[in-house]
Chains A and B, each alone.
Chain A
Amino acid sequence: MGHTSMSFAVQASYLIATLLLVLGLKQMSSPRTARNGMLFAGVGMLLATVVTFLYLPAVHRLASLPGHEGVWWHRLALILIAMAVGGVPAWWSGRRVPLTDMPQMVAIYNGLGGGAAAAIAAVEMYSGRAYLGSLEFPIIAVIGALVGALGLGGSIIAFLKLQGWMGSPRIGGRNFINAILAILLLALTVASIFPSSASYVNLSVDSLVGIFLIASLVFGILITMPIGGADMPVVISTYNACIGLAVGFEGFVLQNPAMIIAGTIVGAAGTLLTVLMARAMNRSFFNVWLSGFGDVGTATAAAGPQQAMKSMDARDAAATMAYFEDVIVVPGYGLAVAQAQHKLWEFVQMLQKRGVRVRFAIHPVAGRMPGHMSVLLAEAGVPYDLIYDLEEINSDFANADVALVIGANDVVNPAARTDKSSPIYGMPILNADQARQVLVIKRGRGAGFSGIENQLFFGANTQLVFGDAQDVISKMIQALKEL
């Protein structure tokens, strides 16, 4: 098989690298050790990569490849060029992109990993190596390729949607097209496992594999397209898990234990994360995938309430809070978009100096990713002990003087508790409406990301401060200084 001849040095480095990656991931699940964990994982990755590269000529006998006698270093140079081509833009974009755009960057880096898994499978299939062993090798190689390419297609769509470059187009007969493509894809998958079948339809194996990979990619694009933006966290997390699995599968094909273990662990961890998120939104995993929020949302939006919204000046809002005792802040995507987290923390500290108790209530799916808000607040320097999860704080809203909602919408929509016809009915929400007074900082009068009208904004005790969160909070800070 050619893959079993791994040298001792490579084997040992993979053992250590795997240990470091797994320990790193473990440490990343606690705030105190998270940075340390990333360091572990980084060292592990570097070790595996460098040792693999250095031992490529020895282990894979590059020099003896037919047609490559004496020019084996060409291949090494090509690998270095490829690493530069992939690594430099990724480094540059990862450094430069504003923090609010991180979710879509995670989506795209993740998708590219899936593409890499598919590329490995393709090389193994083109060369025929995937078909040398017993049947489990082609089966696993082909399934890994399917999942990897599908994940790449889907991640590209997730990226485009989060970047705001794409809506949720409704294509007539979508289900029919998807069903046809699914059957075609199944046939291509089976055919790729038994490549001799290609000759029945006058195809070369190379073309068959190419068509199979493109069909997988297109299928990933099509199944992700109708899903609404509000469900994107579940989508990205699903693809993260799937691609982990694809990497593990290709690891089996290459007989590479580091890839098997690291890939599988990500597959399992990602699956659990997906389930936790779907549960927090009270949506089953299958509902997210089979129907988008957007499909139902716009229908109910028209039948929304007709009362008037009451607006309030930013200065009055600040003064209101300054003279109360207990304020709960509910941040949402609007805060991230406006990059107002630093201003917000400055404002909160001023309130604290005046003796106001301020806490932050974080809905698990506020923003565009689970934990999105926590990351944002962490960036501004808000200490952990002021940040509360949904279960921890929800009963406290009834006793709070003010709930300050900043750019959040669906996660505070009381329709989730009361309106059985609402698409978000049953989703746990923050009970901001139960506070004595609700102040909402909101950019415009329109409905939220999911397109569902929000009763909270029309409540008797609700006042809206219209404007960009950054501007509004700046004005509120100014107002407090003058008090």
Chain B
Amino acid sequence: MTGFVALYIFLIAAIAGYEIISRVPVILHTPLMSGSNFVHGIVLVGAMVAMAEARGSLEVTVGFIGVVMATSNVVGGYVSTERMLEMFKSKKENA
């Protein structure tokens, strides 16, 4: 993938991101912030690849820390968003 192809992907993804969020009720701002935090947890796949290709103790150590941090991002992001959204369920049933 050359710079320009990546730039096109980058451009379209940026517009998509902007459009997706442009009509969000205030009520969902916190869960959405948490949810988008979970989505950038995709960094975990990159951390795994970096760890797999790491050579030598320095690279392995940094790679290990990377996987630890990325997993926290994914798991913490999922659990906290899920907990916030659970409340919307109970609310709907009450209404």
Chain A residues within an 8 Å CB radius of B85: 34-35, 38
Asked whether A259 lies within 8 Å of B29 as measured between CB atoms, the reply is: no
Bound: A37/B84 CA distance, A: 13
Checking B20, B59, B64 against A127 with a beta-carbon cut-off of 8 angstroms, the contacting residue is: B59
A interface secondary structure, majority: helix
B36 to chain A, nearest CB (A): 5
A325 to chain B, nearest CB (A): 23
A residues near B (Cβ < 8 Å) are 2-3, 14, 17, 21-22, 24-26, 28-32, 34-35, 37-38, 41-42, 45, 48-49, 52-53, 56, 60, 62, 65-68, 75-76, 78-79, 82-83, 85-87, 89-91, 93-95, 99, 102-103, 105-106, 108-110, 112-113, 115-117, 119-120, 122-124, 126-127, 129, 134, 136, 152, 206, 236-237, 240, 243-244, 247-248, 250-252, 254-273, 277, 362, 364, 369-372, 374-375, 378-379, 381-385, 387, 389
Given contacts A119-B66, A120-B50, contact A264 B14 (CB under 8 A): yes
Chain A residues within an 8 Å CB radius of B34: 102, 106
Given contacts A31-B88, A119-B66, A247-B40, contact A384 B27 (CB under 8 A): yes
Asked whether B91 lies within 8 Å of A109 as measured between CB atoms, the reply is: no
Chain B residues within an 8 Å CB radius of A248: 10, 13
Asked whether B6 lies within 8 Å of A384 as measured between CB atoms, the reply is: no
Chain B residues within an 8 Å CB radius of A30: 24-25, 28
Checking B22, B52, B72, B92 against A272 with a beta-carbon cut-off of 8 angstroms, the contacting residue is: B22
Bound: A138/B30 CA distance, A: 35
**Across the A-B interface, the 3 shortest Cβ-Cβ residue pairs:** A119-B66, A268-B17, A94-B79
B18, closest chain A residue (CB): A268
Given contacts A79-B52, A240-B37, A264-B10, contact A381 B26 (CB under 8 A): no
Asked whether B39 lies within 8 Å of A110 as measured between CB atoms, the reply is: no
B20 to chain A, nearest CB (A): 5
B interface secondary structure, majority: helix
Bound: A318/B52 CA distance, A: 64
B67 to chain A, nearest CB (A): 4
Asked whether A102 lies within 8 Å of B30 as measured between CB atoms, the reply is: yes
Bound: A58/B47 CA distance, A: 17
- List B78-95 residues whose CB lies under 8 Å from chain A: 78-92, 94-95
Chain A residues within an 8 Å CB radius of B56: 126
Asked whether A123 lies within 8 Å of B54 as measured between CB atoms, the reply is: yes
Bound: A14/B45 CA distance, A: 10
Chain B residues within an 8 Å CB radius of A261: 9, 13
> Would you list 8 pairs from A and B whose C-beta atoms are within 8 A, ordered by A residue?
A17-B42, A28-B81, A29-B24, A34-B28, A90-B79, A123-B62, A265-B14, A371-B26
B86, closest chain A residue (CB): A35
